[in-house]
Amino acid sequence: MKRFFQSRGFLKFKKNRGAVVASAVIAVYVLIGGWILVSEALAGIGVLEKPWISLGETLERVGPSEQPGIGQAQSYEKRLEDASFLLELADRALASQDVEAALLETRMAELHIAERPPDELRALVARAWTLYDEIWTSDVLADRPTIVADVATLEGVLDELFVVPDGYAGWRYAVRTSLGTDRQGRSILVRALYSIKVAAQIGMVTALISVLFGSLLGAAAGFFGGWVDGLVIWLYSTLSSVPYLVLLVLVAYLFTGGPLDGTLIP
């Protein structure tokens, strides 16, 4: 090992900052993807209660749509739109016949409606709607100091209505929303991290299949020669001449609507 670190190649690599940074990024990428795979395997055999990141978490709504990430500003119009979304969510839950069950359904990851009596919650919602209507029915949108104060007051009421638990759950929610949300209100960070695992799986399966078929075809061409060799050469030269995009569209069409993707075309 000492000899390796003192070798000419390693010293040359060490001086190349771009290569070092790229290698570090790749290492982190591989570690994250590997840990997600391992945690899913451990959860499958019962060693862990649940995986570090699951497919369900990538599809779970964690807040209003298109929330900004760290360091990104949000317009007051968008903040009011998010307030309207949360208030409508609370309204539907409080108007339900089974209020308790409806409130549970409004939970977005760790973000949930405060555990208060329904009457208190209705009072908070009514107060928030009053503030919301006052903002939109006045000329405060043209007065920056006024809208700053009014939107802050409205969001203060929403913080009483929708709460995030303290401790680890609150930290986890802050991490989930650190890069914002997409159009369906899903965590961009969680989806990005889980995509590493998907990319690693696809890469491994593709590499194994390529090595397997390539080795078999190459061995057959070298051993038999003649027309077998010509057939193998024709096969890979023909496939390599087809544009990858066209080939992917063809493969997707062939395997869509069949038993492989869980659907059948009548």
Tokens of 117: 């009596």
What are the tens digits of pLDDT across the range 151-209? 889 999 999 999 988 888 899 999 999 999 999 999 999 999 999 988 888 888 888 98
The whole-angstrom separation of Cα 53 and Cα 51 is 5
Which residues, 6+ apart, have CB-to-CB distance to 255 below 8 Å? Answer: 261
Look at residue 92 in the predicted model and tell me its pLDDT. Answer: 92
Q: Assign 89 a pLDDT band (cuts: 50, 70, 90).
A: very high
**Helices within the chain (DSSP H only):** 2-5, 8-15, 17-44, 55-59, 76-94, 99-105, 118-136, 144-161, 168-176, 188-224, 226-241, 244-254
Q: Exposed e or buried b for every residue in 166-199, given b needs 16+ CB within 10 A?
A: eeeeeeebeebbebbbeeebbbbbbbebbebbee
Which of 22-36, 75-89, 244-258 bottoms out in mean pLDDT, i.e. has the lowest? 244-258
| pLDDT tens digits along 237-248 | 888 888 888 877
DSSP 192-207: HHHHHHHHHHHHHHHH
112 pairs with which residues across the strands? 163
Exposed, middle or buried: residue 131 (CB in 10 Å: 0-12, 13-18, 19+)? middle
